[in-house]
Amino acid sequence: MENFSTLHYLYSLIMLAGALYFYYLSRRPKGVPTYEYFLAITIPLWSGAAYLAIAFGQGVLKQSERTVYFARYLDWVVTTPLLLLALGLTAMIYVDKKNKTLLVTLVSLDVFMILTGLIADFSTGFIKYIWYTLGVIALLLILYIVWFPLRRIADTFGHKLSVHYRRCAAYLTCFWVLYPTAWLLGPSGVGLTQDMVDVAAFIILPIFSKVGFSILDLHGLRRLYK
Amino acid sequence: MENFSTLHYLYSLIMLAGALYFYYLSRRPKGVPTYEYFLAITIPLWSGAAYLAIAFGQGVLKQSERTVYFARYLDWVVTTPLLLLALGLTAMIYVDKKNKTLLVTLVSLDVFMILTGLIADFSTGFIKYIWYTLGVIALLLILYIVWFPLRRIADTFGHKLSVHYRRCAAYLTCFWVLYPTAWLLGPSGVGLTQDMVDVAAFIILPIFSKVGFSILDLHGLRRLYK
Amino acid sequence: MENFSTLHYLYSLIMLAGALYFYYLSRRPKGVPTYEYFLAITIPLWSGAAYLAIAFGQGVLKQSERTVYFARYLDWVVTTPLLLLALGLTAMIYVDKKNKTLLVTLVSLDVFMILTGLIADFSTGFIKYIWYTLGVIALLLILYIVWFPLRRIADTFGHKLSVHYRRCAAYLTCFWVLYPTAWLLGPSGVGLTQDMVDVAAFIILPIFSKVGFSILDLHGLRRLYK
């Protein structure tokens, strides 16, 4: 448990460093809209606070057989919609009147996906897999929106934005597909991996999918606006 | 209990069918704004998922004397604001700059109404009826907004919209008045009706007030835009 | 405990009176945008309902050594973002396209501040003070936004708005600095003050910081628009 705490503290520090770095970038925005910086700063701050709670032993429920890290869901339910908003707004970066219905659909599907994951984590037997499957369906619908309606919007604004958007979308898709895989293999799912491996996965994955994604997105946008 | 589960599964299936039907309509939108389809699809999907949790025995708290279906409130706290949004946006369908204060007021009153219902369900004695009364006051204020400020907006855009809006508002009013009545007569209130009757009421009522309302609203709007 | 209940009932009544007064003002808005009245009415209604729950003994968790008034946090998590929105919108009252990123940042920091207070209240030892410190940092960031970016916006629209905004900001700053002080001195923090003093502080403070603030803000705005 000592090791777990250290890892979680370390994660919070990395998130804080990420937020400070994006704040530093936002001081010289280079034409990129403020909301992109706001999202990049908020995501790691919230995630870092959630993991701090886990490090303190507060964001964890110990049930007889196993441990539910419910603070992870508190993290995800806020940060994953913000990541999708960042990606969606990147696709619409040159659009004056953003397509709100598309953004709201993305966020709704995402919140639904996280909630099904939470319920699945507290469920057992076949009911667990029904909730898990519903969550995966929501993820597939999200990826459909990312790769079809959103990509089409990005494509209408020239080659440079199109390439940047596809790169960000591909990056996000890779990591988001790894999450349900790690969930399924770990103690929340079938329990193939050890607790230690599970914790490591949920430390390393989010560093790439949060701070990593924002670095890729913001630097690309800053080059676009030059 | 077996029968209850079957009814709840059936409800989830009907909701799924409704969502798929509205998705099918959205493929040929006939000029009706996308957000109306988004609302019509989201409402039954969310409600169906909540009832699925009840069918699994997860959305239910068994206290010594009686059963609190808290997943119902989780359903309502999302779907009833969306239904009011659909109605409010129908009244403002031809308005470019929607009156956001009016929409936010509707949603706030509605969320307040659902929360008072939840607290009332967990209360006893005269405190239960104070919360219930506060919820009914919120409902009356909602109906006031529906029948006065919103109706006036719809009336300024010609006879056809006026008739359509009044029809939708009347439909919603009828069903929304039945809810607190069913609540009061059922086990959450004075307990006049049996559990079975209560469950049936909360299966049949929402089918009409959710999928039924959206069918009425969407088909009317599609005729308007022709 | 009897006295506590009476005080909380009294508070709810004062909040109701405040809401009715602001509704009365909204009937003759004198050019002030509707959303300012909406905020002024919603804040005391929500707060009054939360304190009613405390008066009924429902918004309180009794732990072995002490009492956590969690309904206070339910109050704050809604009313304090609305108060900041009212202040932020006052600064931008003459701006057609409000700076949404600034408003969303304010609300996010505020929700974070309230959540850290809640977690701190349920924590012990040095962990309590880490959460408390994080909340205070969020408050300092809020005050920075209030006194720098927002004040700068208000300043660009003439002397009268500038004076009015500074008055409202100073009023809010004074009371909001008193909250964490009362929290720290009271049973949620180091426990210097008695329960009775603590309760009184959390009755008197919010009357000034909620209804008092809205009176100051709305009357000032009504004079501005004359």
Phi then psi for residue C62, to 5 deg, are -95, 115
Residues in chain C with CB shorter than 8 Å from the CB of B121 are none
Per DSSP, the three-state class of C48 is: helix
Phi then psi for residue A28, to 5 deg, are -120, 80
Determine, for residues B105 and C38 on separate chains, whether the beta-carbon distance falls below 8 Å: yes
Alpha-carbon gap, residue C120 to C127, rounded angstroms: 7
Closest residue in chain A to residue B57, using alpha carbons only: A127
Contacts of B among chains (3+ CB pairs under 8 A): A, C
Query: Mean pLDDT score of chain A, rounded to an integer?
Result: 92
Interface test with A, best of C98, C108, C114, C118 (most A CBs within 10 A): C108
Burial class (CB in 10 A: 0-12, 13-18, 19+), B162: middle
List C62's β-bridge partners, or say none: C67
Closest residue in chain A to residue C108, using alpha carbons only: A42
Q: What is the pLDDT of residues A168-193, one digit of tens each?
A: 999 999 999 998 888 888 877 777 77
- Nearest-by-Cβ selection for A101 from B34, B45, B56: B34
For the record, the structure tokens of C221 come out as 């705005």
Q: Tell me which residues of chain C have a pLDDT lower than 70.
A: 1-3, 64-65
Q: Does B53 touch chain A (CB under 8 A)?
A: yes
Determine, for residues A127 and B38 on separate chains, whether the beta-carbon distance falls below 8 Å: no
Alpha-carbon gap, residue A45 to B116, rounded angstroms: 33
User: Counting runs of H as helices and runs of E as strands, what totals does chain C give?
Assistant: 9, 2
Closest residue in chain C to residue B138, using alpha carbons only: C45
Determine, for residues C56 and B100 on separate chains, whether the beta-carbon distance falls below 8 Å: no
Q: Does A35 touch chain C (CB under 8 A)?
A: yes
Residues in chain B with CB shorter than 8 Å from the CB of C46 are 112
Contacts of A among chains (3+ CB pairs under 8 A): B, C
- HSE, side-chain direction, 13 A CA sphere, residue A210: 31
Alpha-carbon gap, residue C87 to C147, rounded angstroms: 11
Residue B93 near residue B221 (C-beta atoms within 8 A): yes
Query: Which residues, 6+ apart, have CB-to-CB distance to B178 below 8 Å?
Result: B205
Alpha-carbon gap, residue B86 to B35, rounded angstroms: 8
Which ipTM was obtained for this model? 0.90
Domains and CATH numbers, chain B: 5-224 (1.20.1070.10)
CB contact residues (below 8 A), chain B span 97-126, against chain C: 100-101, 104-105, 108, 112, 116, 119, 123
Å between C34 CA and nearest CA of chain B:
7
Alpha-carbon gap, residue A79 to A40, rounded angstroms: 10
Q: What is the pLDDT of residues A13-69, one digit of tens each?
A: 999 999 999 999 999 999 999 999 999 999 999 999 999 999 998 888 877 667 778
Output the tens digit of pLDDT for each of chain B's 226 residues: 456 788 899 999 999 999 999 999 999 999 999 999 999 999 999 999 999 999 998 888 777 667 778 899 999 999 999 999 999 999 999 999 999 999 999 999 999 999 999 999 888 889 999 999 999 999 999 999 999 999 999 999 999 999 999 999 999 999 999 988 888 888 777 777 777 777 778 899 999 999 999 999 999 999 998 7
Interface test with A, best of B9, B12, B34 (most A CBs within 10 A): B34
Alpha-carbon gap, residue B188 to B210, rounded angstroms: 22
C-alpha distances in Å from residue B139, one per residue of B111, B124, B177, B191, B205? 10, 21, 8, 22, 17
Residue B61 near residue B68 (C-beta atoms within 8 A): yes
Size of interface A-C (CB pairs under 8 A): 21
Determine, for residues A130 and B34 on separate chains, whether the beta-carbon distance falls below 8 Å: no
Determine, for residues A56 and C127 on separate chains, whether the beta-carbon distance falls below 8 Å: yes
What pTM did the predictor assign?
0.92
For the record, the structure tokens of C17 come out as 């009176």
Query: Which residues, 6+ apart, have CB-to-CB distance to C184 below 8 Å?
Result: C132, C190
Alpha-carbon gap, residue A183 to C124, rounded angstroms: 32
Closest residue in chain C to residue A74, using alpha carbons only: C115
Q: What is the DSSP letter of B193?
A: S
